[in-house]
Amino acid sequence: MTKIFAYGIRDDEKPALQAWEAAHPEIEVDFTGELLTPETAELANGADGAVVYQQLDYTRASLEALAAGGVKSLSLRNVGTDNIDFDAAREFGFKISNVPVYSPNAIAEHSIIQMSRLLRRTKPLDAKIANHDLRWAPTIGREMRMQTVGVIGTGHIGQVSINILKGFGAKVIAFDPYQNAQLAAEGLYVDTLDELYAQADVISLYVPGVAANHHMINADSIAKMKDGVIIVNCSRGNLVDIDAVIASLDSGKISDFAMDVYENEVGLFNEDWSGKEFPDAKIADLIARPNVLVTPHTAFYTTKAVEEMVHQSFDAAVAFAAGQTPETVVEY
């Protein structure tokens, strides 16, 4: 019988895992809430594959320990693979998969919800109401249909976001070096990022955190944007030079900012800091601002997305065990 061992299973993943198990009675499944480390690797001894999701690095030591127990495939329940020691993975002969598309709608919806909240100033309005101040002024909002929204990146998530924005009646412009034929036919693309920066009232990012995109939102690019621009980042933390954003919020060049990701989020996000000293002054400052919305990498966090991440990763692990190559294989 094929055996799959999973690491880092959260309580919110258990319903999806149980549903997958029920649909695959021929597969033996075991799991732990602990993450994969050199010490926990032995829990998977004898398994045909490991399913994982963690922000910890998949180090040489962890992969070596996993391979020593006979495990030679690693199926990630997430997209990112930048925390894998690929040299070690090659040395130990690992086959690797990820879940590149789990629910574009989850991230797209969150980004547009946050954009809408900024436009309608819900954070300061909520604060007023909580204090029983029910006056309208000066918390006046703006309508989405009156905005030119610049969408950077038109992959799965960007396309869903564009469809949502069209429903609001916003004017959408887009930039992507790899253009979508349908969107190109609609005339949505501008030729350069500089054109998008110059025209957009709101800018939302939907691009990967590859080296070429590192700090694409920086002092120079912000200077090319409209005064009072709104920026939304629900993609990757390293796309944004947070110091440049803070300076531009201070000057008013950026009027509002929403972030779901942060370059230094590991060890900060998905932790309970209530009653403790908060370790990041920049994020504390941003959280305190009435024109900034901070969420701790939760754009993806929906029941549908979690279900897909569990099911697709386990499907890939079983495919590897059967000597097959899943569609979600990571070529490296």
Rounded to whole angstroms, the Cα distance separating 154 from 10 reads 31
Burial of 262 (0-12, 13-18, 19+ CB in 10 A): buried
Known catalytic residues?
Answer: 236, 265, 297
Distances (CA, A) of 25 to 19, 111, 303: 10, 38, 23
* Omega within 30 of 0 (cis) for the link into 138: yes
